[in-house]
A = this chain, B = another copy of it.
Amino acid sequence: MKASEKTDALEIKALTFDVFGTVVDWRGSIIREGEAFGAARGLDVDWARFADQWRGGYGPSMNRVRKGELPWLNIDTLHRMILDDLLDEFKITELSEAEKDHLNRVWHRLTPWPDATSGLQRLRERFIVAPLSNGNIALLTNMAKHAGLPWDCILSSELAKHYKPDPEVYQTAADLLGLPPIQVMMVAAHPGDLLAASAVGFKTGFVPRPEEYGDQRNRDLEPDAFFDVVANDFNNLASQLGA
């Protein structure tokens, strides 16, 4: 049975997308912008390491919210807390508040993978397409405007005041779309996101992004029969889903 037949039968109405790593290349974007930022200020910084450590602080900071050590804080705020520590560690001093805020908002200006926008345009002809990211609504809205991502609406963990992979995030998204979870497909480069969505009843589309962490890092990105669809990019996903 072809994937298109399988998914036709599932009556998928909407696709929700993980964003950081799945739609946009956060690491490459931060390195590029960081290098330009540093060159203009004469900073000697390893921006790949800076990007990796910034992203590395993300899971632990969300866990502090999840465990109640911190109240609900959106990703802009968590990114800024991590950034302030990194600026100390990398000895980047004498930035103004406006410069720090601008640097923190690099996450609003991330660049899509080359196939993302064209694939979303195709998918949008047949399905509702929306991000379902731990990024906050303002971040995702600004990113979409900056990068030309053609979302039908912006969904976020912020609307559930829970971070993925908490089940509340996926259930809230389905409720807001007015759809039963089985009519929604979560699309992500991260198996954990898909497993959590599936536990709530979502269909799953796995799009591995082997370059997410650069050349150095080898990750288990093997297709898995668990996923309803496995695609090598968004245009291939569109073809498999008949869009």
Residues in A152-191 with C-beta less than 8 Å from chain B: 152-154, 158-159, 176-179
A176, B145: Cβ atoms under 8 Å?
no
A137 within 8 A of B: yes
A59–B136 alpha-carbon span in the complex (Å)? 32
Residue from B130, B144, B158 in contact with A152 in the complex, judged by beta carbons closer than 8 Å? B144
A140 within 8 A of B: yes
Assess whether A177 is in contact with B137, with CB atoms less than 8 Å apart: yes
Q: Are A138's CB and B177's CB within 8 A?
A: yes
Query: Chain A, interface size: which category?
Result: 20 to 34
> Are B178 and A138 closer than 8 Å at their CB atoms?
yes
Q: Is A76 an interface residue (CB 8 A)?
A: yes
CB distance from A12 to the nearest CB of B (A): 15
In contact, B128 and A145 (Cβ under 8 angstroms): yes
Q: Residues of B contacting A140 with CB < 8 Å?
A: 153
B contact residues around A130 at 8 Å (CB):
141
Tell me whether A141 and B153 are in contact (CB under 8 A): yes
List CB contacts (< 8 Å) of A77-117 with chain B: none
